[in-house]
Structures are given as C-alpha cells and as structure tokens.
Copies of this chain bind each other. A is one copy, B any other.
C-alpha cells in the first residue's frame, strides 16, 4: 500500500505496462509517473519531480531563464514577491497526508462495537477507496495490500490497528519512521494523556 508514491518514483522506475510516453520521449526522465493517458500525473509525483519534468518537456526552461533575468532587474523581485499565492493541484505527498488524515479519523470515530451494516459499509468503503484513489500507482499498491491483509472492521481498535499497519507499510517504503500502533488512538482520537492536545 502506498498512499504516497514510494519506490516507483525513482530514476529507474519503468513505465507501467500499457502506458504511452509523450511524443518524442523514449523514457521517463527522473522516473516521472504518467497518467494512463500518457500525460504526467500530478497526483502520482512529488511537486519537485513534476516541475523537473515540466522544465524538461515543455518551454519551462526558457521561462525560467527569462524569469532569472527579470529578477536581476531592479523592482522585479518585489513584484514577484507580491504575486498572490496560487493554489495548485495537490502532489502525491499532499494527497497522501490528506487521505491518511481522513482514513485514521474514520477509524477514530468508528464504533467500538459496530453493527453488521456498519462493518459492511466500512469494508466497502475501503475497497472503493482502493479503486478510486487518485494516484493510480498508489491505488495499485493499496489494492495489493488489501488483497494480502483483509481490512479488519469488527471493531474500532481492529480497524485502527489494521490501518496503522497499512500506513507503516508505506512508511517503510518511503524510509519514514514506523509508528507505534499501540498509540494509534492517542494520535488520531484522544490526544496524549498529558492533555497537550486539549
């Protein structure tokens, strides 16, 4: 499972089977992950990887050069700094953080003793989430994870622990610290016992 693209987004990542490359390109620079229509996938790459791709594959290089020249001109820097911030489509990292926040919060609010209907709802939600997740390589990984470790939905703690393990699976792939799943509820539901989140 990888709600953030992990080891696929490397210099050596091959194009996924069936993916068309953009016109005139025979390989993916910096391992950029493409949408299934052959265009670079914002939701599958970090912002920096996407920008590097754009600089190579489009006119970005010349725009950057022009901007650098302009910045050397008196007044240009001030004009640039007052430009309002543009809200951009999320990259793979922002999408991952957002999605983990939602999923762990769903676990936190899930009943301790859910009804059969609630268990069915949550199992279906996780399955549909794995199909609809906007980063398609991450979705593939998540579907594979779900296939080898069926989501536990019998209780709040069952699901919270399952989700924590799934998140840690991604943490390992990304070289991030593993979270102590004994503390999942403290992190996502109650806050620490010292009240520092109250």
Contact = CB atoms under 8 A, between A and B. Distances in A.
A106 interface: yes
A192 interface: yes
A82 interface: no
Nearest to A60: B198
B90 A95 contact: no
B132 A88 contact: no
Interface string A80-99: 00000011111000110111
Q: How many copies does the complex hold?
A: 2
A197 B124 contact: no
Interface string A128-159: 11011110100000000000000000000000
A37 B197 CA distance: 20
Contacts of A187: 87, 89
A19 interface: no
A77 interface: no
A14 interface: no
Contacts of A86: 191-192, 196-197
13 contacts: A35-B109, A43-B108, A51-B198, A55-B198, A60-B195, A86-B192, A89-B187, A98-B98, A98-B101, A98-B102, A108-B134, A125-B128, A125-B132
